[in-house]
Amino acid sequence: MTRFENTDDPSMLKKILRQFLLACGGALVIFTFFFGVFANYLDTKPDDIPTADGIVVFTGTASARISVGLDLLARGKGQRLLISGVYADQNFDTILAMAPSDLDNVTCCLDLDYIAKDTRENAHETALWAEIHGYKSLIIVTSAHHVPRAFLEMRRAMPAIRLSAYPVVPENVRMDAWWRYPGTFALLLGEYVRYIWSLTGLPVFT
């Protein structure tokens, strides 16, 4: 008769569990450290960026970013402006309503992208737009915390393009002391996770 014996070693199981917990703890420490680096080194003060061939706003739902993009276009920082990720119920009138009142008519040089639904699609549609116009340099206007991921996707879509960033900080976001404000902390943490996920090349978050 074959005898089956219980070969489970409680000490071995404890050792495996201990190693697992140590690995998780180490991963959490690394994650937290690089999250701090990510949050503390976000560029929130745009420099006087050089003139580029085109200007792109990611995405079309934030009025502050659209106002900045229209202002840059009016100042001659680019030949044309693409607003990528526009909602279906938005049009030139609703977009221009977000512009500062003192801007000249810029409808001649404004393009709206209704196709892009996430950052990777923003980059893809921007690459097509830039190729059509023969652009080699772009100014990317987006939220400050979104700039790293936007650049990552743009580099994949257009590795030879020269990119400049114009970061925009929403009024309700406190970047100066982000760890003190739960809303800003959660916003940056979510974007950090999205950025790490985008590094894998797997389907992206919005």
* Domain layout of the chain by residue ranges: 54-173
Say whether 162 sits in a helix, a strand or coil. strand
For 6-20, 117-131, 143-157, 189-203, which range has the lowest pLDDT when averaged over its residues?
6-20
> What pLDDT is recorded for position 49?
84
- In angstroms, the CA 149 to CA 196 distance is 9
Q: At what angle do helices 182-199 and 119-133 cross, to 10 degrees?
A: 60
CATH class of the domain at 54-173: alpha beta
pLDDT digits (tens, 9 = 90+) for 73-87: 988 899 999 999 988
Q: At what angle do helices 10-40 and 182-199 cross, to 10 degrees?
A: 110
- In angstroms, the CA 39 to CA 42 distance is 6
142 beta partners: 167
pLDDT digits (tens, 9 = 90+) for 118-164: 999 999 999 999 999 999 999 999 999 999 999 999 999 999 999 99
Average per-residue pLDDT for the chain: 86
Joined tokens for residue 14: 């404890």
pLDDT surpasses 60 at 6: no
> What pLDDT is recorded for position 8?
58
DSSP annotation of 175: -
Mean pLDDT, residues 55-65 taken together: 80
